[in-house]
A and B are shown apart, each in its own frame.
Chain A
Amino acid sequence: MRTSVIPFGPQHPVLPEPLQLKLTVEDEVITEAVPALGYVHRGLEALAQNRDFHQMVQVTERVCGICSVLHAICYCQGLEDIMGITVPPRARYLRVIWGELLRLHSHLLWMGLFADSFGFESLFMQLWKIRERVLDIQEATTGNRVISGTIRVGGVSRDMDARQVHWIADQLTWVAHQVRQIEPVLREDFTIRRRTEGKGVLTSAQARELGAVGPVLRASGIAQDIRQTGYAAYGELDFEPVTATAGDCHARCMVRLGEIDQSIDLIHQALDRLPGGDIRSEVRGRPQGETLMRVEQPRGEVVYYIRADGGKTLSRVRIRTPTFANIPVLVKLLPGIFLSDVPVVVLSIDPCVSCLER
């Protein structure tokens, strides 16, 4: 049979970001997928050499718009580890609240895009309507809708008063109610199940072998979540990683749906147990040493390697983003599926190309 090569992207109606996949097809079936990357490389790691270590917090927040707070938390935790700074308990809880709000809006954004990938436009708009309320909470508490700009080395820059804590709890109750109403559609709708079940199946052995991270890994039955290591205030909050066993696109959607409930629960727990006191520790001197820090982002595990030589700037910041870890998974999942299922399978790993290319 004759084979042909079809380029998927870098500009494709389904993907808002420039990821190109060169798909070799035989008839309608994919036989090989080769990713071509590098369209949005911005050299943010190199900026570490001419921005001081405090200014780099804002740079790391801009690695990815959707994971902004968590990139900043990971970077700041790395520097706090090098410099031996103890973060005040209130700041650790506030980091959890903003981190989980971010996970909440990222998962709602992804679900909307996922619905859009199989043409379910009304579900897409419904989910983004809920997401808008989460963005409102972010704006009212941090000052910015998406890139919060509140995380600092040694703590956070903004506090919450009791009135805001009650307001967030009320708003999240509305979000939880709305998600509960839309949940049967995502879980049981005939069209969604036909388009997602059994598509792009990743077994737990393959997930382990390929180094999958985040919801992709957990949807294959491996309960691994970096939040279990107890960074920030996660060690003091109760949660269990959300898992599924099927390993297909529907299972990945269900894991993220479960994580929305989990995030709302974690924010409620953090708001209830929010301790008093300072929100920022004093940062003295310059960092010297190296560290490796891991944080669980909406898309999975992000790894920061930071090396400092005692100067004003850092000598190396290396970022391994979750999408980078999930690209080998995507290359493995695509062969054998129909061309029409490619958008669904590509979206199911939640690719964040600007994260990936830094």
Chain B
Amino acid sequence: MTEPAADLQYTAEHEWIAVDGDVATVGITAYAAEKLGDVVYVDLPKAGSTVSAATVVGEIESTKSVGELFAPVAGEVIEVNQAVIDQPDLVNADPFGAAWMIKVRFTELPPLLTAAEYAALTD
């Protein structure tokens, strides 16, 4: 299984966050993707919508289960990854890269986990 990437931050809900200025890129971790199995459907919020922290903003379905995508930060969704909607198996193939889900412009970051803290959580 792919280790959590060291340059990302994490949540206990198995999501990763890459921060660039006031924009957070959000995806789900390799651990979450493996638990779900082959992802066959991804539903994401619309670009321009406003999201509140810790609320459900999307869904990730595999053949056998359904995962919810939480917004780890409050703010405005400025970009949505159409590629992962069109090709849901990207979530299994490249969860920390090509399968990013949304970019959110935020004003405040909640406390997040480091890669080591997240890895300890999934041991």
A and B form one complex: no
